[in-house]
Amino acid sequence: MGWFLVGSLRTALCGFVPHVSGDPDLIQSSPHQAYYRISIDSKKWWAWGLGGAPVEEPSAQNRGYGWDAIAIPFDARGRVEFAPVYIYTIIPEAFEEARLRRLYEGITTMADVLSLYGSVREVRHVAGYELWYYQIRVWNPAEELPSGAPAN
- Domain annotation covers residue 59: yes
- Domain annotation covers residue 40: yes
Confidence of residue 151 (pLDDT cuts 50, 70, 90): low
- Domain annotation covers residue 62: yes
Rounded to an integer, the average pLDDT of 39-58 is 92
Domain, as residue range, for 85? 25-143
**In the chain, how many domains are there?**
1
pLDDT digits (tens, 9 = 90+) for 68-115: 999 999 999 999 999 999 999 999 999 999 999 999 999 999 999 999
Question: Which spans in 39-101 are helix H?
Answer: 44-47, 94-100
- Domain annotation covers residue 11: no
- Domain annotation covers residue 113: yes
The total of other beta-carbon atoms located within 10 Å of residue 25's CB is 16
- Domain annotation covers residue 47: yes
* Residues 6+ positions from 105 with CB-CB distance below 8 Å: 32, 33, 34, 79, 80, 81, 82, 83
Confidence of residue 9 (pLDDT cuts 50, 70, 90): very low
pTM, 2 dp: 0.82
- Domain annotation covers residue 137: yes
State the virtual CA torsion across 51, 54, 57, 62 in degrees, nearest 10. Answer: 140
Question: Over 60: is that where the pLDDT of 10 sits?
Answer: no
The total of other beta-carbon atoms located within 10 Å of residue 34's CB is 21
- What pLDDT is attached to residue 22? 85
- Domain annotation covers residue 5: no
Cα separation of 119 and 98, whole Å? 19
